């Protein structure tokens, strides 16, 4: 059985190597559409190859770009790695580890350093292999690390990844020294809190302050964010909040209210609030959350925004359809109906998307038989959220993409390579 599993892994590696080579060929050979200029950073790559890949696999823009970039790196600049991948002697996990280790390394030096890590790659843990490759690439990189660091700092970011059971992972991309300093500070505070048995605003299933070190780290982070970001309390607590925060090992206190100064959109049915339904509440940008969390947030809310919905269909009543810019109520309904970008495969949350008129509002387009289509209206049927990239691919006549309404809530997309995709509005699952 182990031999069979190992053989299956080699076969999978062979197939993925063939796919990588095909993706690399497609990205460079697809005939450009009228007016298309190649990307500045990748002059040999078709500008809209990414859109075709994301539509075919049903994946987001970033994932499609990674597929193309990784295939190009592997096939063109790591020929020995690709050869071992092709014959199955190097598995997918190690190939991904090598690619991670080669990130932001000048392509012209990659083949020179392959022999320094490839012979022992298969016997190396993937994470350890990434560190090894990255270390070798750092030592052979002709550009000083100071210059690369200043450029890399522009990629600082914070993001959230939903997890099951009402949890989420908050991640950040920061300069290494600052990130390490922050983590070590959280570690020191958490160890002090655990040693002294201090309570925090976080809770455990048992309701007691005896937490693991990991739980304390998470609670310390939230405590610090509360002190910096939250509204201060009134009265005597407001006076206490002006004092310096306690040092590790000193007693803690309720210095700030637990209220983050940002907007949280929560959807909960009236039947659920009345106890006549078991439907959970929905937090925009995350998904289902316990009703108790929704009630706690509602108790400290400065205002409520009410949506009247049809109890059978859940459809929100819309108002106003006669201007190019949709009224706020209509825009909210469109984003609630389609919680993610409606570009094929894209998963960007609708709240960060533009609202696109499927049938253009002010630009005439032609059907496949040459007939001029009527201008589109600002209506629920014609509006869809699209991220800037998907919006550009659809609306720029130079891309060669056509998108049209073919039925209630149904669009038909034809790509420059002739592929046809049908999509139904409101049937896309939210990225929760």
- Please report where in the chains the tokens 């063109």 appear, as a residue: 76
pLDDT digits (tens, 9 = 90+) for 153-194: 888 999 888 888 888 999 999 888 888 888 888 888 888 877
pLDDT at 148 over 50: yes
- Please report where in the chains the tokens 């469109």 appear, as a residue: 334
Question: Left if phi > 0, otherwise alpha if psi is -120 to 50, otherwise beta: which for 117?
Answer: alpha
Count CA atoms closer than 13 A to 428's CA, side-chain side.
29
Mean pLDDT, rounded, of the chain: 78
pLDDT digits (tens, 9 = 90+) for 296-315: 766 666 665 555 445 555 54
Phi, psi dihedrals of residue 221, rounded to the nearest 5°: -60, -45
Percentage of residues of the chain with pLDDT beyond 90: 23
Tokens of 261: 């100064």
Contact partners, residue 201, CB within 8 Å, separation at least 6: 219, 222, 223, 226, 254, 258
| Cβ atoms 352, 387 nearer than 8 A | yes
Q: What is the DSSP string of 144-193?
A: -HHHHHHHHGGG-EEEEEEETTTEEEEEEE--HHHHHHHHHHHHHHHHHH
In this prediction, residue 306 carries a pLDDT of 52
pLDDT digits (tens, 9 = 90+) for 194-242: 777 665 555 544 445 557 788 888 888 888 887 777 644 444 444 444 3
pLDDT digits (tens, 9 = 90+) for 77-129: 999 999 999 999 899 999 999 999 998 888 889 998 998 999 888 988 898 89
| Cβ atoms 62, 106 nearer than 8 A | no
Domain boundaries, the chain: 2-155, 160-241, 266-299, 328-424
Element (H, E) at 288: strand 287-289
- Please report where in the chains the tokens 């998307």 appear, as a residue: 353
Q: Is the pTM of this model over 0.85?
A: no
| Cβ atoms 95, 81 nearer than 8 A | yes
Element (H, E) at 135: helix 126-140
- Please report where in the chains the tokens 């894209």 appear, as a residue: 346
Element (H, E) at 422: strand 420-424
pLDDT at 139 over 90: no
Cα–Cα distance measured from residue 32 to residue 339, given in angstroms and rounded to the nearest whole number: 32
| Cβ atoms 30, 49 nearer than 8 A | yes
Q: In angstroms, what CA-CA distances link 143 with 76, 92, 139, 146? A: 21, 30, 10, 8
């Amino acid at each position: 059985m182990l031999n069979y599993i190992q053989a299956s892994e080699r076969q999978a590696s062979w197939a993925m190597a063939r796919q990588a080579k095909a993706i690399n060929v497609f990205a460079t050979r697809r005939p450009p559409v009228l007016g298309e200029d190649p990307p500045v950073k990748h002059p040999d790559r078709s500008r809209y190859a990414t859109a075709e890949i994301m539509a075919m696999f049903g994946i987001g823009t970033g994932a499609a770009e990674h597929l193309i970039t990784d295939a190009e790196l592997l096939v063109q600049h790591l020929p020995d790695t690709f050869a071992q991948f092709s014959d199955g002697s190097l598995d997918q996990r190690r190939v991904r580890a090598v690619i991670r280790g080669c990130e932001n390394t000048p392509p012209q030096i990659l083949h020179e350093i392959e022999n320094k890590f490839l012979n022992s790659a298969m016997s190396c843990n993937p994470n350890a292999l990434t560190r090894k490759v990255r270390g070798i690439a750092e030592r052979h990189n002709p550009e000083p690390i100071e210059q690369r660091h200043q450029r890399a700092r522009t990629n600082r970011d914070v993001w959230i990844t939903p997890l099951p059971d009402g949890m989420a992972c908050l991640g950040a991309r920061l300069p290494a020294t600052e990130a390490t300093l922050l983590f070590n500070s959280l570690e020191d505070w958490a160890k002090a809190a655990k040693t002294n048995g201090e309570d925090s605003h976080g809770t455990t299933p048992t309701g007691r302050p005896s937490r693991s070190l990991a739980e304390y780290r998470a609670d310390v982070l939230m405590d610090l964010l509360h002190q910096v970001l939250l509204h201060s309390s009134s009265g005597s607590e407001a006076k206490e909040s002006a004092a310096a925060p306690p040092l590790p090992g000193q007693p803690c206190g309720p210095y700030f209210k637990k209220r983050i100064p940002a907007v949280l959109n929560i959807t909960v049915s009236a039947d659920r609030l009345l106890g006549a339904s078991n439907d959970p509440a929905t937090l925009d940008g995350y998904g289902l959350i316990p009703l108790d969390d929704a009630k706690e947030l509602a108790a400290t809310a400065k205002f409520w925004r009410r949506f009247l919905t049809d109890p059978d269909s859940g459809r929100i009543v819309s108002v106003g359809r006669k201007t190019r810019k949709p009224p706020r109520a209509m825009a909210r309904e469109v984003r609630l109906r389609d919680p993610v970008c409606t570009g094929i495969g894209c998963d960007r949350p609708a709240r960060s998307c533009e609202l696109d008129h499927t049938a253009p509002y002010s630009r005439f387009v032609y059907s496949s038989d040459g007939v001029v289509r009527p201008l589109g209206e600002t209506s629920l049927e014609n509006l869809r959220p699209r991220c800037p990239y998907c919006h550009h691919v659809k609306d720029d006549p130079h891309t060669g993409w056509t998108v049209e309404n073919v039925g209630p809530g149904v669009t038909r997309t034809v790509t420059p390579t002739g592929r046809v995709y049908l999509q139904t509005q409101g049937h896309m699952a939210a990225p929760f």
